[in-house]
Amino acid sequence: MSGGVDSSACACIMKDEGYECVGATMRLHSQKSASCVGDEDINDAKRICESLKIPHHVVDFSGEFDKYVISNFISAYENGATPNPCIECNFHLKFDKLFEAAEALGCDTIATGHYAIIDFDEKYGRRVLKKAKNLSKDQSYVLYRLSRNKIDRAIFPLGNIESKTKTREIVYECGLELGAKKESQDICFVPDGDYAKFIEDYTKKSYPVGNFVTKEGKILGKHKGIIRYTIGQRKGLGLALSHSMYVCGKNLEKNEVIIGENEDLFSRELWADNVNLIAVDSIDKPIKVYAKIRYNQIEKSAVAWIENGLLRVVFDEPQRAVCQGQSVVLYDGDVVIGGGIICKTELD
Residues 61 and 118 in one domain: yes
3-state class (DSSP) for residue 240 = coil
pLDDT of residue 184: 61
Residues 28 and 95 in one domain: yes
Residues 247 and 212 in one domain: yes
Q: Is 10 a catalytic residue?
A: no
Burial of 263 (0-12, 13-18, 19+ CB in 10 A): exposed
Residues 160 and 249 in one domain: no
pTM of the model: 0.93
Please check whether residue 161 lies inside any domain of the structure.
Answer: yes
Residues 281 and 154 in one domain: no
Which residues pair with residue 129 across a beta bridge?
118
Residues 74 and 109 in one domain: yes
The residue annotated as part of the active site, out of 12, 188, 248, 323, is 188
Distance CA 75, CA 285 (A): 33
Instruction: Note the helical H segments in the chain.
Output: 5-16, 39-52, 62-65, 71-78, 85-89, 98-104, 148-151, 164-173, 195-203
Distance CA 299, CA 297 (A): 6
Question: Can you spell out the DSSP letters for 242-274?
Answer: SS--EEEEEETTTTEEEEE-GGGGEEEEEEEEE
Residues 252 and 321 in one domain: no
pLDDT of residue 193: 87
Please check whether residue 199 lies inside any domain of the structure.
Answer: no
For residue 276, give every residue at least 6 positions away whose Cβ sits within 8 Å of its Cβ, in sequence order, or none: 144, 145, 146, 147, 338, 339, 340
Please check whether residue 178 lies inside any domain of the structure.
Answer: no
- C-alpha distances in Å from residue 121, one per residue of 126, 147, 152, 161: 6, 16, 13, 19
Q: Is 89 a catalytic residue?
A: yes
Distance CA 22, CA 40 (A): 20
Distance CA 306, CA 314 (A): 12
Taking phi first (over 0 means left), then psi (-120 to 50 degrees means alpha), and beta for anything else, what does residue 321 get?
A: left
Residues 38 and 52 in one domain: yes
Please check whether residue 187 lies inside any domain of the structure.
Answer: no
Residue-number span of the structural domain to which 217 is assigned: 207-260
Distance CA 153, CA 10 (A): 15
Domain CATH for 240: 2.30.30.280
Please check whether residue 9 lies inside any domain of the structure.
Answer: yes
Please check whether residue 191 lies inside any domain of the structure.
Answer: no
Q: Contact 253/226 with Cβ under 8 angstroms?
A: no
Please check whether residue 321 lies inside any domain of the structure.
Answer: yes
Q: Please report the sign of the dihedral spanned by the C-alpha atoms of residue 137, residue 143, residue 144, residue 146.
A: negative
For residue 318, give every residue at least 6 positions away whose Cβ sits within 8 Å of its Cβ, in sequence order, or none: 266, 267, 268
Residues 251 and 271 in one domain: no
Residues 239 and 160 in one domain: no
For residue 89, give every residue at least 6 positions away whose Cβ sits within 8 Å of its Cβ, in sequence order, or none: 28, 65, 68, 69
Residues 126 and 75 in one domain: yes
Give per-10-residue mean pLDDT for the chain (348 aa): 94 96 89 58 93 96 94 96 95 95 95 97 97 96 96 96 93 81 70 91 95 96 97 94 95 97 97 98 97 95 97 98 97 98 90
Please check whether residue 198 lies inside any domain of the structure.
Answer: no
Number of domains in the chain: 3
The residue annotated as part of the active site, out of 21, 49, 89, 107, is 89
3-state class (DSSP) for residue 336 = strand
Q: Contact 342/325 with Cβ under 8 angstroms?
A: yes
Residues 11 and 112 in one domain: yes
Domain CATH for 47: 3.40.50.620
